Structure 1
């Protein structure tokens, strides 16, 4: 058995359920419609994977996130089996357990069952409360179905977050947001419609107008903050600090997390064992990423290849994720995790981005300005270019 590194406790787990009742034309996740005995085989393999990870790592879960796909598409007995496997091998989240939910799968009885199994937070794929917009997005539910689902989940005792897609041509965004707020959700995740290569939208030549994108980005903040929500992350809003997504914060702040299921991605501590990833030029043991293969290969027991991280990778990943947060990145933490003096290494780039009005310093924190949030990809690209230049100059 692999030796566990000291103080490398994993407190978060993501589980991917790839099955969907239908595939949305904008989706580029690993998803598929259920066929034959695929779900039964999935549950058997997931049980094995949970046992393996529970034996390999010191797992003390604080948060669990069941995403997809459409996890709520699982039948009741299938959901019970999945939860039993997780509890047996990994435990259960002490602080928060989120279930991604399609509105069309909700009923009062099912909501009560999910709560009984231990889920306390629902992330509902509403996307819009306008039927024409939903039809364009290929969603199978109606606006009324979404309203009913939120009402039933709240009645069952869930903390409810509503997903919203913006920048859709003709979308009545103000009405969408006002409707979400009126439903009583405590959290909103608002994402711009993005056309990814290989999706049906891309093949059909669907495009997102840049003016619509910028308008949606700004209008969402104006309307939600005006309704009393705090924009605590670039795409996420909460009524109170207690409504923040604790699980997603683990991603944004660089904490370790397990990734289970086909296509599931995890971020793992360095392992001192003969089969652990190694690198001869590391100055200190560094964590690594691993993304599971897709369903067919994953069912055979195959694991994704570990991605070795350099000190620069750890630092720029911390910037890419942490600058999404309103409070920004804690620079001493990034230095400690990466082994780099980040102010010495990236100082010129940081000063340049501050001069451009995209970043600002506040004590030990570096954060993005509102304009920096809009141009965050270019800010991180400049930091990554600093690493590329350093590698080129290395002997």
Structure 2
């Protein structure tokens, strides 16, 4: 059921993720590769970033549509530092012709800084609002307050950014309805809403903070009700947008496109070397200390079957789901035949729908998506 020579997808790389690991403080729920800055560290990071950008430019055919600078807190970089970062990327890899996103902490925003970010070519701002309720922000360990968050969104909107607001749901005592209506009233065109998750090794885990599943599910469902009533479409499990405001960069992830990862801890999905029987390669850079020395990261070759299961996991997160015929053409795997039993079983359970070749997760399926995808993996043994 696997064709001997599948077409290699996305040999031209059109998407870039840049990781900035520095934060003013570490939130108690955060398990990303982040750290507070020390003397000389940002300078060393920026010098190595330029080297790595040049290396990637020499290895791949790069014609960027989107750039996403995340972290960490990229907006925590000083003006000269974020300028140096942007210029390094632009010099070696170009700049996104469709969308360039900067993750922003509300406490770092001013009119002058917003103007600088726009002048550097950023067009979209992903703002870590998390809540507009001061006690909730304090519980989450955020360094900004609700008024700063409101001012930040207003300032960025006035500077002609497309603004996305992040929210965390299922926080004890959080006024979810007020948070959502307040954020929409500020004029954002996109909302990313994530359930509070307690990850091992975080400060919340050490303190024994827990989130009840009933609260998670209630927040998951109520968020969609409230945002749908305000004209937002849930186009992905955790992401909502007004028409035309979807994240072009994140859609590339969910559609299984190749992308470069630049910076410590950054992950990338790269075209595979020709002639090795692979479709793509996934690579994750080492953390800062080793990355600064030029150490190699973890590389995982992706064959046709792994490519398909990755595509199922990512594509089923989308409201539109994925086209099994198109996936078969890209991978060389007869997806519908290979996983017929899994698909039929989950359709009966009300977790998936299949219309023609279009496979989608239902709202109930989204809630247990990891379990559904695990069944596809089990089918491969």
TM bucket normalised to smaller: over 0.9
Q: Write out aligned runs for 1:111-126 (5 A).
A: 111-126=114-129
Match of 2:169 among 155, 166, 170: 166
Q: 1:78-227 alignment to 2 at 5 Å?
A: 78-227=81-230
1:292 aligned onto 2:285: yes
Instruction: Give the alignment partner of residue 273 of structure 2, picking from 271, 274, 290.
Output: 271
Gaps of 5+ in 2: 1-7
1:323-379 deviation per Cα after TM superposition (whole angstroms, max 9, x unaligned) = 010100111222233321111111111110101110001222100011111111111
Output the TM-score relative to the length of structure 2: 0.96
2:364 corresponds to 1:362: no
1:351 aligns with 2:340: no
Deviation of 1:6 (Å): 9.3
Correspondence for 1:281 = none
Q: 1:42 is matched with which residue?
A: 45
Q: TM-score, normalised by structure 1?
A: 0.93
Match of 1:254 in 2: 256
Matched, 1:74 2:74: no
Whole-Å Cα distance in 1 between the matches of residues 167 and 19 of structure 2?
Answer: 21
Distance of aligned partners of 1:194 and 1:89 in 2 relative to their CA distance in 1, 3 Å threshold: same
Number of aligned residue pairs: give it: 374
**In structure 1, what is the Cα distance between the partners aligned to 2:347 and 2:148?**
46
- Could you tell me how far apart the structure 1 residues matched to 2:66 and 2:301 are? 25
- Are residues 1:63 and 2:66 paired? yes
Segments of 5+ residues of structure 1 without an aligned counterpart are: 279-283, 389-395
- Cα RMSD of the aligned pairs, angstroms, is 1.2
Q: Hey, what does 1:9 align to over in structure 2?
A: 12
- C-alpha separation between the residues in 2 aligned to 1:161 and 1:6? 30
**8 Å contact kept, 2:9–2:271:** no
Per the alignment, residue 391 of structure 1 pairs with: none
What does residue 315 of structure 2 align with? 322
| Rounded Cα–Cα distance in structure 2 between residues aligned with 1:348 and 1:383 | 9
2:339 is equivalent to residue 336 of structure 1: no
Q: Do the aligned residues in 2 keep the contact of 1:129 with 1:179 (CA within 8 Å)? A: yes
2:9 and 2:330 in contact (8 A); partners too? no
* Structure 1 residue 286: Cα displacement: 1.6
Residue among 362, 366, 369 paired with 1:373: 366
